Amino acid sequence: MDAISVIRTKRDRGTLSDEQIDWVIDAYTRGEVADEQMSALAMAILLNGMNRDEIARWTAAMIASGERMDFSSLPLPTADKHSTGGVGDKITLPLAPLVAACGAAVPQLSGRGLGHTGGTLDKLEAIPGWRALLSNHEMLGVLRDVGAVICAAGDGLAPADKKLYALRDVTGTVEAIPLIASSIMSKKIAEGTGALVLDVKVGSGAFMKNLDDARELARTMVGLGTDHGVNTVALLTDMSTPLGLTAGNALEVRESVEVLAGGGPADVVELTLALAREMLAAAGVHGKDPADALRDGSAMDHWRRMIAAQGGDPDATLPVARETHVVTAEADGVLTALDAYAVGIAAWRLGAGRARKEDPVQEGAGVEIHAKPGTEIQRGQSLLTLHTNTPEKFDYALRALEGGVEISPAGTEFKPTPIVLERIA
């Protein structure tokens, strides 16, 4: 077996054999296949695609490159959620303790932000003392004691994917649906969860800009989960407008705590409850309704215990940016668009995100939203507040927002987009 023959097969729109896939993933993980060779193969996959059997085998090979976790010793069924990434998407924070409060264990392996999409681990690290890195033994202990854990994936979990993702990020092949699907599902299947709910974002602030691409990705991932014995469901959800009223690390933690306290923005609450109900149903847990767990304080109790179990102080004061700048409306009318991508880029430029994985983030930086589409607006009214420790970034962030806010004449009819667009199972 050699890398050139594998590349040529996919370059010429052929179907990779099981033996070719197994060999190239193993050889690349060991360093026998060079980065430039795997780059060529990834580009060929982007351009020519893969069939379901190829994707399933590619995913299995990446799983086999590392360890598999086992939660069979837990007394509760397990359920996990994965989001393909968005702006203001803090759903994991209230969701994990909420599902745990309703009777399922949630082993949530999460990641960091890159570019305009925020990262769950970056948000939680705004809480003083909180630790993202746990050993497998520590992770299992938190799950037994609390019922929910949110942490980083260990180096032993699908190492082939970790190496390949870094390569795709710098070679323009991130958008290849077979590689997105296998990347996500190899980690989730190796994680060992019994049920998985996928939140596949659609819109300007998502990687999938249109419904057809999002639907294809969702169906591919649901098929992979099913083929590997994981009960998998996907929701296609809107990401044309930021979720909630904040985009930025500490800002989103505050909003998540508001949701757990029984308040918070309606769209965040709606999506959190929708995903919680899907996770519980997929895990076969039928009992307490998630809305009741928000009302009676049990979800908040699980949040506090989960944060404390990972070294965090749930009562600590969260970081606040030193400088703010208010963006006001330039005309009377109806706010008819607030572009998620523009807000995400603005938050990133203010310091809430990173351009490279090793870059630091400002915990207090981000964008606070004072009006969502459909709101009647008066000239001079506050629309957004920008937060940063580095005020020289305000102009850079404001340029990102140009064209991202649309105010139409008073009386313009506005029809909101549903949060949940489709369900795929």
Catalytic residues: 82, 161, 168, 183, 187
Distances (CA, A) of 411 to 336, 370, 373, 417: 11, 20, 13, 18
Both structure tokens of 105:
């264990």
Backbone angles phi, psi at 126, to 5 degrees: -70, -15
Residue found by looking up tokens 């920008």 in the block: 386
Give me the phi and psi of 272, to 5 degrees please.
-60, -45
Alpha-carbon span 20 to 64, nearest angstrom: 15
Q: List the structure tokens of 363.
A: 């915990």
Rounded to 10°, the helix 249-260/92-101 angle is 30
Q: Compute the distance between CA of residue 305 and CA of residue 303 in angstroms, rounded to an integer.
A: 5
Phi, psi of 412 (to 5 degrees): -65, 130
Strand 195-202 vs strand 79-83: parallel, antiparallel, or unpaired? parallel
For residues 416 and 300, what is the distance between their CA atoms, to the nearest angstrom?
Answer: 30
| Sheet arrangement for strand 333-338 | 376-377, 333-338, 405-408
Beta strands, E only, 371-419: 376-377, 382-388, 405-408
